[in-house]
Amino acid sequence: MQFGIFTVGDVTTDPATGRTPTEHERIKAMVAIARKAEDVGLDVFATGEHHNPPFVPSSPTTMLGYLAAQTSKLILSTSTTLITTNDPVKIAEDFAMLQHLADGRVDLMLGRGNMGPVYPWFGQDIRKGIELAVENYQLLHRLWREDVVDFDGEFRTPLQGFTSTPRPLDGVPPFVWHGSIRSPQIAEQAAYYGDGFFANHIFWPTEHFVRLVGYYRQRFADYGHGTPEQAIVGLGGQVFMAKNSQDAVREFRPYFDNAPVYGHGPSLEEFTAQTPLTVGSPQEVIDKTLTFREHFGDYQRQLFLMDHAGLPLKTVLEQLDLLGGEVVPVLRRELDALRPANVPDGPTHEALVTASLAGPGTLEAATLEAGSRLETSAR
Amino acid sequence: MTARTIAVVSAGLSQPSSTRLLADQLAAATARDLPAGTRIVTIELRELAHDIVNNLLTGFPSPALRHAIEQVLSADGLIAATPLYSGSYNGLFKSFFDVLDPDALAGKPVLIAATGGTARHSLALEHAIRPLFTYLRAVTVPTGVFAATEDWGSAGSSAGARTALTARVERAGAELAAAIGRRQPAAEADPYAAATPFEQLLRSP
């Protein structure tokens, strides 16, 4: 089981002080937060990709390349990489390059983006969102697996005898997650390729996502990648903690009430009752997160949103101390113990390499941890 | 024939509400022309006002609002009644239909109704409320019912004689019942059942 954090990279005024960080401060804060994630024992840092204020992370592989040099164990990922508006050739090359620099500590989550105006900025048409996601990923998938690619599609100029460089590290492409909050077609896409499916359910009620994840698991099995239980699932989460539950609520309320996404809407109490947001003690976070497994089955990656709505860096770093120090060790122990031996662990480059050396394997074999887990696989 | 369900959505804000009164009369008139056992579910938007605004802000409905939406979507016919504010439906009425999926009411028989101070506002039914449901591709029945304050005071309602309002209510109810009778019982679309196999997505140009 992998635990980590994902960031939107918003520049938001701190409602407690009225102060707005500069872009420079926010970008450096994201770096500090990622380094802290490694220090407190988390496995993954993922950054969003946005091309409009108030967001800063327009160039994820630049940031993740810098982080690759600043960290040694952390998996560097995205949440999400825009498969609709980025040229798949550029994604293939940028992430292969990053993979080499980070010695394989790289994967990525693909998404369609959430704002229509972004599409024309990159020469695309939002009305073609799903079609772009389908065609672009089909090409990206080939560019990482075929040394020489001929391609003729609807959305970009044809390729003839094209080789994307550098080739993926050890001949193994970065693991791909497909992120979606509402489209069955994206769950279908993830299932078709045997890729991971990430359900960022932080703003929506659980029941909706239970159906979406259930659908992905079933289709994963239908396409012959393993059993539904062996599909690779990631989930979002959002927490704010204090030793004492009442202190957490009191400290977080102004940030909640003014948050860009849900502020001035439901009360903190309503929102925590209806969504995965947990504001309380570390034990309450543990209890709520453990319910995710009951709803979605054994899963491979849990990402938390920790740095948004204007929370100052100092607070975020303290939150990460609690997350890494008190919450994740318990969750890791509990969830790893509950996961059956034939359900894969979170995907790593080493496991993918091991599996590719072991011969033509299936995805779930590939993502089983190297060693005994692989040998005792039910498959 | 399966028992049918009529959903009533009332955007009246006062308690008691003449909009609700009109909606109830329309529901009763519709049910009279449908087989016994017809179920009427009534949704007072006032009780969901905060939840509707929250849904606009967060993008998802609270459990109470989701239940109300499901009742509307699974109904065989809808009676939609609003008081007129500033020459049109009130904001709460519009906001409720704004949080529905744009296809949610496609093909559903709908009877539109409104209340206002004087009959001078009655055409708001035709220039504001009917176009909303046309946009949503609902099937509005020809008669929309407007009740002005004076309509409630007309002679005859207690004596059993037909007033002009009663006649319109009965005609509209009969039209909605007929529209419901022409259709198969409503079933909610399952987005997962209809999902396209990926090979098909890959092949589509």
- Residue A10 DSSP label: B
CB A183 within 8 A of CB B201: no
**Nearest CB neighbour to B192, from listed A130, A184, A204:** A184
B201 lies within 8 A of chain A by CB: yes
How many Cβ atoms from other residues are within 10 Å of residue B159's Cβ?
Answer: 7
Question: Which pLDDT value is given to residue B1?
Answer: 53
- pLDDT band for A372, please (50, 70, 90 cuts): very low
The length of chain A is: 379
Q: How far apart are CA B93 and CA B76, in angstroms?
A: 20
Cross-chain residue pair A188–B195, CB shorter than 8 Å:
yes
Q: Is the pLDDT of residue A377 over 80?
A: no
Q: How far apart are CA A91 and CA A176, in angstroms?
A: 12
Q: Between A1 and B152, where is the model more confident?
A: A1
Cross-chain residue pair B195–A215, CB shorter than 8 Å:
yes
Domains of chain A: 2-346 (3.20.20.30)
Residues of A in contact with B199 (CB under 8 A): 192
Q: How far apart are CA A112 and CA B106, in angstroms?
A: 27
Could you identify the residue written with the tokens 């409320």? B129
**Looking at CA atoms only, how far is residue A18 from chain B in angstroms?**
23
- The closest alpha carbon to A76, from A336, A349, A308, belongs to A349
Residues of A in contact with B59 (CB under 8 A): 203-204
Q: How far apart are CA B81 and CA B85, in angstroms?
A: 13
> Most A CBs within 10 Å: which of B50, B56, B58, as the mutation test of the A interface?
B58
What would the pLDDT profile of A121-160 be if each residue is shown by its tens digit? 888 888 888 899 999 999 999 999 999 999 999 999 999 9
- The closest alpha carbon to A176, from A297, A79, A84, belongs to A79
Cross-chain residue pair B53–A265, CB shorter than 8 Å:
yes
DSSP per residue over chain B, as a string? Answer: -PPPEEEEEE---SSS-HHHHHHHHHHHHHHHTS-TT-EEEEEEGGGGHHHHHHHHHHSS--HHHHHHHHHHHHSSEEEEEEEEETTEE-HHHHHHHHTS-TTTTTT-EEEEEEEESSGGGTTHIIIIIHHHHHHTT-EE-S--EEEEHHHHT-TTTTTTPPPHHHHHHHHHHHHHHHHHHTSPPP----TTTTPPPHHHHHH--
Three-state DSSP at A283 gives helix
> Most A CBs within 10 Å: which of B50, B51, B198, B204, as the mutation test of the A interface?
B198
- Using a pLDDT cut of 90, give the percent of chain A over it: 82
Residues of B in contact with A263 (CB under 8 A): 57
ipTM of this complex prediction, to 2 decimal places:
0.80
- Residue A106 DSSP label: B
- pLDDT band for B195, please (50, 70, 90 cuts): low
Spatial neighbors of A171 by CB under 8 A, at least 6 apart, are: A356
Spatial neighbors of B33 by CB under 8 A, at least 6 apart, are: B173, B174, B177, B178
What would the pLDDT profile of B164-181 be if each residue is shown by its tens digit? 899 999 999 999 999 999
A272 lies within 8 A of chain B by CB: no
- Residue A114 DSSP label: S
B205 lies within 8 A of chain A by CB: yes
- Token duo for residue A377: 């696989």
Spatial neighbors of B184 by CB under 8 A, at least 6 apart, are: none
Pairing of strands A44-47, A75-78: parallel
Three-state DSSP at A82 gives strand
Q: Is the pLDDT of residue A180 over 90?
A: no
- Token duo for residue B200: 């098909």
CB A82 within 8 A of CB A40: no
CB B78 within 8 A of CB B44: no
Question: Which pLDDT value is given to residue B163?
Answer: 83
- The closest alpha carbon to B184, from B70, B107, B112, belongs to B107
Q: How far apart are CA A234 and CA A43, in angstroms?
A: 13
Domains of chain B: 5-203 (3.40.50.360)
B49 lies within 8 A of chain A by CB: no
Q: How far apart are CA A227 and CA A362, in angstroms?
A: 11
Determine the average pLDDT of the residues in B178-198.
80
CA atoms within 13 A on the CB side of B86: 2
A271 lies within 8 A of chain B by CB: yes
What would the pLDDT profile of A203-241 be if each residue is shown by its tens digit? 677 888 899 999 999 999 999 999 999 999 999 999 999
- Using a pLDDT cut of 70, give the percent of chain A over it: 94
Determine the average pLDDT of the residues in A59-86.
97
